[in-house]
Amino acid sequence: MPVNLALGHVSTDFLIAALVIYSLSVVAFAGDFAFGRPRRAASAATGQQARQRAGALASVGAAAAAPAVPPASSAPPASSAPGAPSAPGSAAPDSMPEVALPPLRAVGQAGRWVQAALALSAAGVLAHVVAVVTRGLAVHRAPWGNMYEFVTALTCVAAIFFLFVMIKYRAWALGVFVMGAVVVALGLAETLIYTAAGQLVPALQSYWLDIHVTAMTLATGIFFVAAVLGVVYLAADRSARRVAAGRAESGNGILRRLPSIEQIDRLTYRTVMFGFPVWTFGVIAGAIWADQAWGRYWGWDPVETWAFITWVLYAAFLHARATAGWRGRRAHYIQLLGFASLMFNILVVQVFIAGLHSYAGVS
Amino acid sequence: MTDVRAPEADPFESAAEPGEQGPRNRDPASGKLGLADWLKWGWRQLTSMRIALVLLFLLALGSVPGSILPQEGTDPGGVQQYFASHPALAPWLNHLGLFNVFAAPWFAAVYLLLFASLVGCVVPRTFRLAGSARTLPPRAPRHLTRLPRSAEYQTTLTPAVAAEVAATVLAGHGFRLRRPDGDGEYWVSAEKGYLREVGNLLFHLALLGVLVSVALGGLFGYKADRLLVQGTTFADTQSALDEWYPGRFVSAADLGPFTITLNRFDASYITSGAQRGQPSSFDAQISYTTHPGGPVRNDRLEVNRPLSVDGAKVYLIGHGYAPVFKVTDSRGQVVYDQATPFISGASGNFLSQGVVKVSGAQPEQLGFTGVFVPTAVMVGGVLESAFPAADNPVVSLLAYAGNLGLNDGVPQSVYQLNTAAMRQLTSAPQLLLPGQSLKLPDGQGTIAFTGYVPWASLTITHDPGQLPALICGLAALGGLLLSFMVRRRRVFVRVRASGPAHGAPDEAHSTVQIGGLARTDASGGFEDEFASLAAELRSAHSQHEGE
């Protein structure tokens, strides 16, 4: 079936729209840092204390609502669980853990800048999804058959996934970093490796393209978010250590408004835990496809080798977090090394090292 | 692959990890120790998480040269080229096994140590899991408010009733329960999520299974290549194969006796636009029999669509052109008339090279080196191919006469001409269009380019480890998901009589304490689960108050 060029142009237009809207959302996230209500105004003095508390992640960045959500382990003040009538004639004050605020209500209580940024992110995601879908309709296949399409799809996954994370875990203080990275990646794809809509070589004409590359795209998008969170973690950790060493003023700049390093750490860990099985599935699906196409399920082709290296490094990250002496900073370096190997695979191995996976379509 | 080793200070394991603390973990350097102690120490080191991490790193690091340097297994030509361009460095790299990393002893050492480390951890842990499945959860601690999650409230129920109600609620959620043995105490211990451990173990054991499956395929499988010119047939026997890579325990007798005929091969290409010249489809029409003389079946081979026959799989891997030459020698006898496969490089629109060896020519043997150009254009005096389809086919030939050297006992490639004992007959390459012929000097005869046919290259594989590897891979994925999504957690309820309440001295009165802890709540959500469980327990209690 011939490529629908008009629809291909529609896709490009929507992608540029998404890029613009994402940029505006980054501006709004930054605006929240600059002009938004201070998140921890009430607890500025106890900020360090709050950092040490491995409390509910749910209270992260819940603007004015944060003080209203006491950590589950605190005893007084008493507050009844919603819906449960308090026992008649209580002798001692009750302490019940708070059932977490529904995420969307938490968004309602966030600042104006955050609401604007989230709305813009959602609008950007919508335009991005339309761009990816129209590209797929234009070429009559899954729209991740070359490098340009792969990057646009993986940034779409990253944006959707992070939008979900931001709302579920109230982690919008991290929005400026992740959405900023999405803008940079998408902008580079648009300017450096733009490839017009086209057909695929016979080797890629298989429904395994849909399965294998979709899984790899999903996993890469999720690992992308984890990598940005890892960088934020390292920056926050560095700042916390400087403060502890008395070398820097506590409470300066952006880092003060971030969630605690424990919370960033846990969020990163969960993100990797989400991506790792997807990556594993992608590797298995790739092995099945390789068996269909090349007559062996694993042949240490350069791209296969680097997918293996990436898998091993992320596995090492997951293990490192359960090993004394490797938690925290070192574990995150491993995680970033894993993402670096993933990027090396996409940007260097697939383009410059001859192998069976040379489909990048980058000239 | 999380924490197959229990994290330090694990409240879920009463016994401390052997080897982590205690006098058994003495550094052998600090005192006099026998060989057995040294071995124990080594084993404990090997099975520690730290060493496992280091081995994982080495595995990743060791794989790097395998992707950067050409490898014997995937690119033997590249290895030869590397030897030619780096004559000083290449032998050293070769000594280190860097041209065959994934079969190198040091690479095997890394992954075998890693798997030994894994076994050393998984096996004791399996026993521990089996043990904890048989024993009940521990008794409820005395002070539940000290646990990571806790709640406390009052009820007018008696402690015995309140504990009974709590047990019913927790049992309804699928917790395993433990109740006090004697009277005087009212508590419930509840535990859930054993599948997390099961998943973790399944994942690691399945990885071992993958390794065994790969080894199985390497020992009992084979791979073979065969180039098949359109219109010809071959039988799957060792002599008919161009290349045969048998596993250690495979002999020629294990080859399937099937035969395959390539009836027709078609390749189509995109003819316009930016992707001009890129292939759009390959299609090989074949007929095959599962054994010689058996019923003939017709099928099609395409990329991504292999043929399963007789326990083996046949893949369409490549294709090219085989120009047909007819050679007449000085006596006027036709001594050569066949399609000769020419091989193309990775680029160049199927500009293909090949040789013709005419051993039966008189008075001297004849040899030709040639280039087949499917769509010939002259660019600055150089012959190039403008398109991969044969739109304007041309061959360019150089002729030689003399001794082909076929009887020297040294095996020769059919794609190379040994011109050491030959003299060149034509001073420059001669271009021929289909139907044209070249008259050789000194009455040595003629060579005619009568046409061309396509060829397809097939790969035949048999891998008994394939299905086990797939099953183990999927089992690993399932185990991974189980261990990530299930959390093992304990919830305790303790009820104490708390004396008469203010203003209601006649009512019985109890204090309910709930405590909870999760072991590595990695996917999160225990705090929410605990909060809603506490709310549910409380509303169950207040419902019973009304009865």
pLDDT at residue A81 tops 80: no
DSSP structural state of residue B171: H
Q: How far is A293 from chain B, CA to nearest CA, in Å?
A: 4
Q: Is the pLDDT of residue B502 over 70?
A: no
**What residue of A is the nearest CA neighbor of B151?**
A96
Domains of chain B: 23-132 (no CATH), 136-193+487-545 (3.30.160.110), 222-462 (no CATH)
Query: Which pLDDT score, from 0 to 100, does residue B405 have?
Result: 83
Q: Tokens 């401390």 map to which residue?
A: B16
User: For residue B507, which residues of chain A lie inside 8 Å, CB to CB?
Assistant: 89
Q: Do B281 and A205 touch (CB under 8 A)?
A: yes
Q: B117: closest CA among B19, B185, B183?
A: B19
Q: How does pLDDT run across B402-446, given as a tens digit for each residue?
A: 888 887 777 778 888 888 888 888 888 889 999 999 998 888 889
Distance (Å) from the alpha carbon of B450 to chain A's nearest alpha carbon: 31
Determine whether the interchain pair B481/A277 forms a contact, defined as Cβ–Cβ distance below 8 Å: yes
Nearest CA in chain A to B466: A297
Question: Does residue A44 register a pLDDT over 50?
Answer: no
Name the residue facing A277 among B101, B484, B538 (closest C-beta): B484
- In the stretch 34-73 of chain A, residues with CB closer than 8 A to chain B read 56-58, 72-73
Confidence bin at B454 (pLDDT 50/70/90): very high
pLDDT for the residue numbered A55: 38
Q: Which chain B residue's Cα is nearest to A290? A: B304
CB contact under 8 A, A319 and B52: yes
Q: How many Å apart are CA B352 and CA B358, to the nearest integer?
A: 20
Mutate to test the interface with B, among A269, A296, A341 (most CBs of B within 10 A): A296
More confident residue, A39 or A142: A142
Which residues have CB under 8 Å from B521's CB, separation 6+?
B487, B489
In chain A, which residues have their Cβ closer than 8 Å to the Cβ of B1? 315, 318-319
Structure tokens at A319: 């293990």
Q: Which residues of B touch A201 (CB under 8 A)?
A: 278-280
**Residues A154-193: pLDDT tens digits?**
999 999 999 998 888 888 888 889 999 999 999 998 888 8
| Residue B225 DSSP SS3 | strand
Say whether A270 and B522 touch across the interface (CB within 8 A).
Answer: yes
pLDDT attached to residue B21? 39
Interface of A with B in 111-170 (CB under 8 A): none
Q: What is the pLDDT of residues A179-228, one digit of tens each?
A: 999 999 999 988 888 888 877 777 777 888 889 989 999 999 999 999 99
Beta carbons within 8 Å of B88's beta carbon, 6+ residues apart: none
Q: How many CA atoms lie within 13 A of B235 on its CB side?
A: 8
Q: pLDDT category, B278, cuts 50, 70, 90?
A: confident
Mean pLDDT of B447-468: 92
Confidence of residue A344 (pLDDT cuts 50, 70, 90): very high
The answer for A 85-114 residues in CB contact with B (under 8 A) is 85-92, 94-100
**What pLDDT does A254 receive?**
66
From chain A, the residues in CB contact with B16 under 8 A are none
**Closest chain B residue to the Cα of A84, Cα to Cα:** B539
pLDDT at B23 over 60: no
Which has the closest alpha carbon to A129: A216, A221, A61, A215? A221
State pLDDT tens for residues B508-529. Answer: 578 899 999 887 666 677 888 8
Reported as a pLDDT band with limits 50, 70 and 90, residue B9 is: very low
Write down the pLDDT at residue B282: 87
Question: Given this model, what pLDDT does residue A217 score?
Answer: 92
A347–chain B Cβ distance below 8 A for any pair: no
Q: Is the pLDDT reported for residue B492 higher than 90?
A: yes
Rounded-to-integer distance, Cα A360 and Cα B303, Å: 19
Q: Are B151 and A96 a contacting pair at CB < 8 A?
A: yes
| Least confident window among A119-133, B133-147, B480-494 | B133-147
**What does pLDDT average to over chain A?**
79
> Would you call B56 and A319 a contact, using CB atoms and an 8 Å cutoff?
yes
B60/A316 Cβ within 8 A: yes
As a whole number of Å, the end-to-end CA separation of chain B is: 50
CB-based contact, A293 to chain B, within 8 Å = yes
Full-model pTM: 0.82
Contact A309 B522 (CB under 8 A): no
Alpha-carbon distance B399 to B426, whole Å? 6
Distance (Å, whole) CA B323 – CA B415: 13
Nearest residue on chain A to B277, judged by CA atoms?
A: A201
Looking at this predicted complex, what is its ipTM?
Answer: 0.81
Write the residue in A87, A298, A316 that is nearest to B154 by C-beta: A87
pLDDT band at A38 (very low <50, low <70, confident <90, very high): low
Q: d(Cα B65, Cα B92) in Å, to the nearest integer?
A: 14
Considering only the beta carbons, identify the residue of A280, A320, A349 that sits closest to B53: A320
d(CA A278, CA A216): 7
B150 neighbourhood in chain A, CB within 8 Å:
73, 95, 97
The answer to whether residues A360 and A147 touch, using CB atoms and an 8 Å cutoff, is yes
Taking CB atoms and an 8 Å cutoff, what residues of chain B touch A296? 223, 461, 463
- Cα first-last separation, chain A: 24
Q: Which member of B49, B346, B498 has the closest CB to residue A323?
A: B49
pLDDT confidence tier of residue A17, bands split at 50, 70 and 90: very high
Average pLDDT on B279-307 reads 87
Rounded Cα–Cα distance for residues B396 and B342 (Å)? 12
Tell me which chain A residues have a C-beta less than 8 angstroms from the C-beta of B71. 300
Answer yes or no: do B74 and A299 touch at CB < 8 A. Answer: yes
